[in-house]
Amino acid sequence: MIRQDKSILHQSILAFRQGRYLKIALILCATAIAVYCGQDLPAVYRKPYGGTWLGYTLGTLGALMILWLMLLGVRKRRYASGAGSVQGWTSAHVYLGTSLIVIATLHCGFEFGFNIHTLAYVLMITVIASGFFGVYAYLRYPQYMTANLAGETLKTMLLKAADLDRKCKRIALDLPDDVNAIVMASSKRAAKHTVRGGSFAYQLAGVDPDDPMRQARDQLLQIGREIPAGQAEKYKQLVEEMARLVSLTDRVRRDLQIRAVMQVWLYFHVPLSFALLAALSAHVLSVFFFW
């Protein structure tokens, strides 16, 4: 069984082992740039391009790197694998994936056009750009989720919200009919469009300013002066409980929003990666069979 240093497990992927893969990526890019600038081209070539020995070398290196980078998803699902930690693979994925910008650009010799070769390049840049957002989300969203949950789980917050809803309706029964009607109507509307039962777009939108319970709370605050003195305490308790319910519902929506954003990112990043693989295959085949 492989044992890992606990201090390494708590490192950021960007700082994994003192930035090991950042250094490798920088060395790789610096070497590629130095060789590109120093290559001695035959007179027949006006400028460097993908058909030179360096172009083929960088192209082969870039293609192999893309294939290896796509194996991260496989590595994440092999929990007992001894092929390095997931944290190390992810760190390498970030830095070596970014270095592809330099490798691929030097490979094509800054030549672009309306063809399958440039399509592969554009897809690669798009995948890398989406990966930058993934890195941001990977580093920031867990903190946001932890702070938002405040030691609870999504399930417990939903159960608490249901309890608060029932409590508000019980309190409202002891108050004037118009107050009771506001609470019952808002609860009924909220039940038809729950935070979990709403559409994916609704979850992605996050906190809803038109939430029925929020509107009910605001309505009750407006009619507060009309409440009989003998029911003022009950009325105050109702408003407080509804405020708690609104706050709790907002936290649930924030949690669902973060999860939805991450899901959208995966639906974008992964298919784009396979599209890149297809375009890369077409690029390689066209070069070796038609050129």
Whether residues 165 and 248 fall in one domain: yes
- pLDDT tens column, 218-268: 998 888 777 888 888 999 999 999 999 999 999 999 999 999 998 899 899
Residues 202-235 as b or e (16 or more Cβ within 10 Å = b): bbeeeebeebbbbbbbeebeeeeeebeeeeeebb
Domain match, 283 and 241 both = no
Domain membership of residue 1 (yes or no) is no
Token pair, residue 98, equals: 């970014």
Q: Verify that 127 and 220 share a domain, yes or no.
A: no
Contact 235, 227 (CB under 8 A): yes
197 occurs within a structural domain: yes
Same domain, yes or no: 145 and 167: no
Question: How far is the C-alpha of 237 from the C-alpha of 239, rounded, in Å?
Answer: 6
Residue 30 CB burial class (10 angstroms; 0-12, 13-18, ≥19): exposed
Place of tokens 């390494």: 8
pTM of the model: 0.79
245 and 285 housed in the same domain = no
- The answer to whether 135 touches 173, Cβ cutoff 8 Å, is no
Instruction: Provide the angle, in degrees to the nearest 10, between the axes of the packed helices 232-290 and 177-192.
Output: 20
- Tell me the pLDDT of the chain averaged across its residues: 86
Residues 24 and 144 reside in one and the same domain: yes
Do 43 and 135 lie in one domain? The reply is yes
In a domain, 207, yes or no: yes
> Is residue 258 domain-resident?
yes
From first to last of its 291 residues, the chain has per-residue pLDDT tens of 344 454 445 567 888 888 899 999 999 999 999 999 888 776 666 677 777 888 999 999 999 999 999 988 766 655 445 456 878 888 999 999 999 999 999 999 898 989 999 999 999 999 999 999 999 998 899 899 999 999 999 999 999 999 999 999 999 998 989 999 999 999 988 877 655 456 777 777 788 888 888 999 999 888 877 788 888 899 999 999 999 999 999 999 999 999 999 889 989 999 999 999 999 999 999 988 766
Distance separating alpha carbons of residues 176 and 187, to the nearest angstrom: 17
188 domain residue, yes or no: yes
Residues 87, 31: one domain? yes
Q: What pLDDT does residue 88 have?
A: 85
Q: Does residue 114 sit within a domain?
A: yes
Strand ranges, E, within 141-196: none
What's the domain range around 227? 154-263
Domain count of the chain?
A: 2
Note whether 187 and 226 are same-domain residues: yes
* Whether residues 50 and 120 fall in one domain: yes
Residues 280 and 239 in one domain: no
Q: What secondary structure letter does DSSP report for 51? A: T
Q: Is there a contact between 216 and 175 (Cβ–Cβ < 8 Å)?
A: no
Is the domain of 64 the same as that of 142? yes
